[in-house]
Amino acid sequence: MKRGKARIDVSRLPEFAFGNRGLMWWGVLGFLAIETTMLVICFVSYFYLRDRVLEWPPPPTELPDLLVPTINLVVMLLSIIPMYLVDRAAKRLDKRRVLIWMVVSIIFGIAFVALRAFEYYALNVSWDTNAYGSIVWTIIVIHTFHIATEVVETIVITTIMALGHAEPKYFVDSSDNALYWYFIIGIWVPCYVIIFLAPRFL
Amino acid sequence: MRTEERVAAAAEAEQDARERGRTGEIREGDLPEEEESRLLEKTWSDGPGFWGWLTSTNHKSIGKRFIITAFIFFVLGGILAVLMRIQLARPENTFLGPDLYNQIFTMHGTTMMFLFAIPIMEAFAIYLVPLMVGTRSIAFPRLAAFSYWIYLFGGITLYVFFILNIGPDMGWFSYVPLAGPEFSPGKRVDIWSQLINFTEISALAASIETITTVFKMRAPGMSLHRIPVFVWAMLIMSFMVMFAMPAVMTSSLFLTLDRLVGTHFYNAAEGGDPLLWQHLFWFFGHPEVYIIFIPALGYVSSIIQTFARRKVFGYTALVLSMIATGFIGFGLWVHHMFATGLPQLGSSFFTAASMMIAIPSGVQIFCWIATLWAGRPRFRTPLLFVVGFFFIFVAGGLSGVMQASVPVDLQLHDTFFVVAHFHYVLIGGAVFPLFGAFHYWFPKFTGRMLGEGLGKLTFWLMFVGFNVTFFPMHQLGLQGMPRRVYTYLPGMNWGSLNLLATIGGTVLTLGVLVFVINVFLSRRKGEAAGDNPWGADTLEWGTSSPPPAYNFLRIPIVQGREALWARTEDEPVAEGLRTDCREVLLTKILDAEPDNKMVLPSPVIWPLLMGLAATATFISSIFTPWALPGGMVLAGLALIGWGWPKKKDERCERESVDEMSDEERRREAARAQ
């Protein structure tokens, strides 16, 4: 386009914006849609495989334990609170509060990643025992990759900001990061139900 | 709030910011035109030399590389096809042995689907979508660079292993149990399933870029009902990629796990089920057909509108029928599995869905015929390819409707009839529009016209060659010739039709050869194209050919659906973006009102390193599961490098929040909600 005559002036529009006004939010949403689809396909495979056998879990496989997974579920759900506070502080460009709640969220994150290790024992089955073992292991491993990545991501953003970067884009990043955090916790709820509760009813 | 009010309200805040001493920014309109375009070129260009080439994040450079690479894979896949045709030209031929033949048909299918068809459609999106929506870049330029590298490395990996005689040999859809650990020992299948990871990641990244670009970066005024049909097509394709590709990623992950660490997803003895593979694969595989076909609809609409010299008939019907195709495309997968003995009800449902998808396709074809009918068509090469597409695709569609019927399908399953059918649909539905698109956009890509005489020759050789190759295969299938056999006995009487198909294949190959020659000749000596040689309506024709690094000197304000045809004398534009930084305008998703601005990141090497890290992970995970955690660490490091603040970007960033007073901070935060 040439420099035309009639113009609108965009020089004074905001130079950053939160949520769906910005680009990164849409990028996060895209990845989130892809990963949800992948997990949903695993869920569907779970029920498909359930339908192939008479008993679930197939004997002599035992039912999974509930204690540690349930504790961890609670820890994960609670971690949404500090992350929500990060989100809120970020939208107010409040660097101090962002950093404080980021650190709290990271502590929660490290806690639930560590507890995750014990959840594997709670499965009471190995991936190579039978198809039931294969699918529950796959779901939990995929999810573990996600929480590990998200915790690392949160640590990286926190480090960048703690090192003195306080340009508005890092606040936008923190807010979009919170969206991803909500997602990985939220998607664990159906994973938990399928892995630990469903075998008791199916 | 209306735009003017918002701008006025923002003015005050901005004035304050300027007074605080944010000097040294250069914006559009600050410099005389010539200096300004020089500065913009400098801002948006890739770095100099080989390093600049490696770090490029310009969507046009990436798009061009993508197109050329995908075309090279098309040629490689074509060479494999020629080898198969030579082998089948007469009964009991000994040109290729059975093992090599298996590898070749697998490589042919895999190359054409995963390394040519999907990537080249994305490539066109990466190059053209930002131009068509009137912006200066694709949404996530570094991700675009990454999606190219990972695709390139995946393709190279596959071919290196093929040359080492470890090419996959179980067919491009890799059915278990044949592909399982019991019947396919060795590494051939693993290489195939890793290739899936490469190309899927590339495709998924490209789809996120495209969707975000279309949603947030359209020029002011390009509200939803003014988006060009081409852009709609790319948008719908991207959504389909997002929901279809995870299925094949998951299923090939299951396959890898079965082969590598002894899981039992497809092992019937331990509660697994081989049919699970077919369901998951075709839940991707059928939408895949439309992932390839819907972009082609975009090419066809663009070409028809331009060469009929009138706006496309039934814009709303066209867009809605593409969306309908996108949805129904997900409800067809079981028609690939009629021969597996599924319940009657399931079969009936999928028969109905398979017939239903003919309805939106019919709507599209009628809209185009109406456009041509009411226009004054110029039969230049691109339009010829579109007309060829009509004939071939409709024929392929008809044989498709035949096979939607279960009894017919059972009779024809795994015969050459199916081979004929899907080549009619895919070559007719995607390759012909694509060659039309090459001829149509070549002037925009290079600044020179593609030779018209050779172009018409290309078309006729390809059209005749295609039909002579594939039409006889319908008959061969009806006579019972199964697909994927490396030879047959003379007594079957399949020899003469096979010879005919081989002759047709030669003509088709000649057509592609003429095209390549035409490209090389025209690249050097073609007639200069000018900005808009066809008198087309979409925005990419409103800038020079090839477009400058910054695409548009000013972001245009779109005044109608046919952006260039609707443009008034005063040529309204938006003004005020920074010219010394890669600043882009973001608009609202529905009505494309200017909303905010953003500085895109500069070129870096990290997307390439990330691609290498992923490649190392995928290749080594063929041999050991420990590659996965190792690869996670490598990829994590690359990602951190990618996102880490860069010194060179600081100049373009908004000042630190630390430097703002409380009141400023509140005001800035309020504006950004």
Residue among A4, A37, A130 whose CB faces B246 most closely: A37
- Model pLDDT, residue B336: 86
Q: Which residues of A touch B646 (CB under 8 A)?
A: none
Which pLDDT tens digit goes with each residue over B459-473? Answer: 999 999 999 999 999
DSSP B216-246: H-PPTT--GGGS-HHHHHHHHHHHHHHHHHH
| pLDDT-above-70 percentage for chain B | 97
Interior angle at CA B352, CA B349 and CA B357, nearest 5: 125
Position B281: which residue type?
F
Mutate to test the interface with B, among A2, A12, A180 (most CBs of B within 10 A): A12
For residue B120, pLDDT over 70 is answered with yes
Question: Global pTM?
Answer: 0.94
Q: Could you tell me if A56 lies within 8 Å of chain B, comparing CB atoms?
A: no
Give pLDDT tens digits for B263-293: 999 999 999 999 999 999 999 999 999 999 9
Please report the number of interchain residue pairs, chain A to chain B, with beta-carbon separation below 8 angstroms: 254
Q: Do A93 and B660 touch (CB under 8 A)?
A: yes
Cβ–Cβ contact A137 with B under 8 A: yes
CA A10 to chain centre: 36
pLDDT score, position B20:
43
Share of chain B above pLDDT 90, in %: 73
For B462-511, how does the pLDDT look when each residue is reduced to its tens digit (9 = 90+)?
999 999 999 999 999 999 999 999 999 999 999 999 999 999 999 999 99
Nearest to A10 among B216, B585, B645 (CB): B585
Chain B residues 79-138 within an 8 A CB cutoff of chain A: 134
ipTM of the complex in this document: 0.94
Average pLDDT over residues B210-224: 95
| Chain A, nearest residue to B266 by Cα | A131
Residue by residue, pLDDT tens for chain A (202 residues) are 566 666 788 888 998 999 999 999 999 999 999 999 999 999 999 999 999 899 889 888 999 999 999 999 999 999 999 999 999 999 999 999 999 999 999 999 999 999 999 999 999 999 999 999 999 999 999 999 999 999 999 999 999 999 988 899 899 999 999 999 999 999 999 999 999 999 998 8
Q: B597 to chain A: which residues are within 8 Å by CB?
A: 10, 13-15
Question: A152 contacts in B (CB within 8 Å)?
Answer: 636
Tell me what pLDDT residue A3 has. 62
B53-79 per-position pLDDT tens digit: 999 999 999 999 999 999 999 999 999
Q: B210 vs chain A: nearest CA distance in angstroms?
A: 10
Which residue is associated with the tokens 């024929």? B395
Tokens representing A127?
């991936």
Residue numbers of A between 69 and 108 with CB closer than 8 Å to B:
91-95
A47: nearest CA in chain B? B276
B134: left (phi over 0), alpha (psi -120 to 50) or beta: left
Which one of A20, A34, A61 would you mutate to disrupt binding with B, by most B Cβ within 10 Å of its Cβ? A34
Question: How close B513 gets to chain A, by Cα (Å)?
Answer: 37
| Chain B positions in Cβ-Cβ contact with residue A37 (cut-off 8 Å) | 242-243, 246-247
CA distance A46 to chain B (A): 10
Of B654, B603, B641, residue with least CA distance to A171? B654
Angle at B379 between CA B377 and CA B380, to 5 degrees: 125
A128, amino acid identity = D
User: Least CA distance to A5: which residue of chain B?
Assistant: B570
Q: Suggest the residue from B657, B659, B664, B673 to mutate for an interface test with chain A (most A CBs closer than 10 A).
A: B657
Cβ of B139 within 8 Å of Cβ of A145? The answer is no
Tokens (6 digits) for B642: 């990618």
* 8 Å CB contact of B598 and A15: yes
pLDDT at B5: 62
The verdict on a CB contact (< 8 Å) between B554 and A3 is: yes
Say which DSSP state B310 is in: S
Q: Mean pLDDT, to the nearest integer, of B563-572?
A: 87
What residues pair up with B599 in beta bridges, in sequence order? B583
Banded pLDDT at B9 (limits 50, 70, 90): low
**Which residues of chain A have a CB within 8 Å of the CB of B656?**
165-167
pLDDT on residue B546: 92
Looking at the complex, report in whole angstroms how far the Cα of residue A148 sits from the nearest Cα belonging to chain B.
10
Greater confidence, B378 or B47?
B378
Contacts of A52 in chain B (CB under 8 A): 271-273
Encode pLDDT of B15-43 as tens digits: 555 544 455 788 888 888 889 999 999 99
What is the structure's pLDDT at B346? 79
Angle at B580 between CA B579 and CA B581, to 5 degrees: 95
Task: Provide the pLDDT confidence category of residue B668 given band limits of 50, 70 and 90.
Answer: confident
> Sorting pLDDT into bands at 50, 70 and 90, what band is B352?
confident
What is the predicted pLDDT for the residue at B23? 58
Q: A142-166 in b/e burial notation, b at 16+ Cβ within 10 A?
A: bbeebbbbbbbbbbbbbebbeeebb
Structure tokens at B474: 């319908």
Q: How distant is the Cα of B461 from the closest Cα of chain A, in angstroms?
A: 39
List CB contacts of B296: < 8 A, sequence separation 6 or more. Answer: B121, B233, B389, B429, B430, B433, B434
Check pLDDT > 60 for residue B13: no
DSSP helix/strand/coil, B35: helix
What band does B337 get if pLDDT is binned at 50, 70 and 90? Answer: confident
Residue B525, judged by CB atoms within 10 A of its CB (0-12, 13-18, 19+), counts as exposed
Chain B residue closest to A25 (CA)? B212
pLDDT for B404 equals: 81
B33 touches chain A (CB under 8 A): yes
Q: Which residue in chain A has the smallest CA separation from B629?
A: A145
DSSP output for B143-184 = HHHHHHHHHHHHHHHHHHHHHTT----STTTT-TTTTSTTT-
Q: For the residues B41-50, what does the mean pLDDT come to?
A: 90
Model confidence pLDDT, tens digit, residues B230-257: 999 999 999 999 999 999 999 999 999 9
Task: Evaluate the omega torsion of the peptide bond into residue A82 and state whether it is cis, within 30 degrees of 0.
Answer: no
What would the mean pLDDT of B379-386 be, rounded to a whole number? 95
Q: pLDDT for B128-173, tens place per residue?
A: 999 999 999 999 999 999 999 999 999 999 999 999 999 999 999 9
Q: Which of B265, B572, B671 sits opposite A6 (nearest CB)?
A: B572
Q: What is the mean pLDDT of chain B?
A: 91
Does residue B247 belong to the interface with chain A, where contact is any CB pair within 8 Å?
Answer: yes
Alpha-carbon distance B107 to A117, whole Å? 41
